[in-house]
Amino acid sequence: MKIPFTVDEFFHIFEVYNLSIWPFQLVLYALAIGAVILALKGGRRTSQIVFFILTIFWTWSGLIYHINYFATINPIAYFFGAIFLLQGAIFFYVGVIRSQIELGFMPRAAHVLGVVLVLYSLLIYRMIGHYQGHLFPKAPTFGVPCPTTIFTFGILLFSVQRVPWYVFIIPLLWSLVGFSAATRLSVVEDYGLFIFGILAAVFLLSDHKKLFAGKRHNQTTP
C-alpha cells in the first residue's frame, strides 16, 4: 500500500506540530517521568494516577497529533486518532475507574524489560533520532504515537498481575502499523517498535501466569 505523503511532508508535520505546541513537550516528558516513578513505587492509588497519565498521552496523541496535524497529509489519521482516543478511554475505565491493574517493581524479567522500554522511549529514542539527523523541531518527540506506544508497553510491564489482552491490543496493532511506516520512511528510532510490542505482549500474556501459579502454590503449601 502506497503512503500518501512524502518523507519531507512527514517530517514537516513534526516541525509544525513541535513549534505549535512548544514548550508543552516538556510537560509531557515531566508527566512521563512522574508516571515511571509512581509505577516503580507501586500501590493501587498510585497506579490509578499512572493510568490517568496514560489516558492523557493517548488522548493527546489521538486528538492533537493525529487529528489536528497528521490528518492534513494523511486522511486515515482521522481513523488512527479515533483508535487512540478509544485506547485512552480503555485506560481510564480499566486503570482509573475500575482500578483493575496494579503496578510495582520486582526483580523479574518483565519488569526489567519495562525499565528498558521506558528508558528507550524517553532517552534512547531521541538519541538515535539525533544520530540519524532527525533534529528538533523536524523530529518525533515524546507524545507522538510511536514513542508513546513504546512507553506504554514499558509501563504495562510493571503490572503485578496479568493485564487483560484488550488493554494492550491497540498498542500492539499500532506497533505493527508504526513499524511498517518506519521502514518506508527511514525512521530508524521506530524500528524497535515491532520487536518491543511482540516481546511485551509475550510477557503480558504468559509471565504473569507463572507468577499466579507461584502465588497459588505458596498459599497451599503448609
Tell me the DSSP string of 80-100: HHHHHHHHHHHHIIIIIIS--
Return the pLDDT at 221: 38
Return the pLDDT at 1: 58
Q: Give the mean pLDDT of 123-146.
A: 94
- For residue 160, pLDDT over 70 is answered with yes
Q: What is the mean pLDDT of the chain?
A: 91
Which cell goes with 76?
A: 486515515
Q: Of all residues in the chain, what percent carry a pLDDT higher than 70? A: 92
Tell me the domain boundaries of the chain. 7-220
Q: Give the mean pLDDT of 5-16.
A: 94
Residue 216 binned pLDDT confidence (cut-offs 50, 70, 90) = very low
- For residue 186, pLDDT over 50 is answered with yes
Q: Give the mean pLDDT of 12-22.
A: 97
Using only C-alpha atoms, what is the Rg of the chain?
A: 18
Tell me if 106 sits within 8 A of 208, measured CB to CB.
no
DSSP 8-state secondary structure symbol assigned to residue 206 = I
Return the pLDDT at 3: 82
